[in-house]
Amino acid sequence: MSNVPPYEPPPPPAPPTPPSAPFGGNELVYPTNPPKDPVMILLLNLFVFGGLGSILMGQKTKGIVAIAVAIVAGIPTCGTATLLVGAFGAIDGYLQAQQLKLGHPVGQWTFFNDHR
């Protein structure tokens, strides 16, 4: 009799982790209870540089970037860029808040109807 242990196959490899997106793009924003009102998010984004509603909804980095872009681009364009960022942010915030209200999580960097 030999003292050789029986053969055991190596464990399976760990599943690959998805690449990390910049600014926390892999994180999800989950619905809250009570859900945020989509009209409130629309109005906040419309009147506060296109980003305050996103911040309150949970898409913090997206909201901060929208506010920064609205301010920086608004200076040389005499506010035109700020109005555009606010309008796009309002529509986007409304659509994201609707998804959250329906109980579906949204990504940190989802836009309009691109819900991942």
Tens of pLDDT, residue by residue over 53-110, are: 999 998 999 999 999 999 999 999 998 999 999 999 999 999 999 999 998 888 888 8
Phi-psi region of 26 (alpha: psi -120 to 50; beta: other; left: phi over 0): alpha
In a domain? residue 31:
no
In a domain? residue 7:
no
In a domain? residue 81:
yes
The answer on pLDDT for 15 being more than 70 is no
In a domain? residue 32:
no
Tell how strand 28-29 and strand 106-107 pair up. antiparallel
In a domain? residue 56:
yes
What pLDDT is stored for residue 113 in this prediction?
A: 79
Q: From CA 16, how far away is CA 11, in angstroms rounded? A: 15
In a domain? residue 60:
yes
Task: Count up the domains in the chain and report the number.
Answer: 1
In a domain? residue 9:
no
What's the mean pLDDT in 41-59? 91
The answer on pLDDT for 19 being more than 60 is no
pLDDT band for position 116 (cuts 50, 70, 90): low
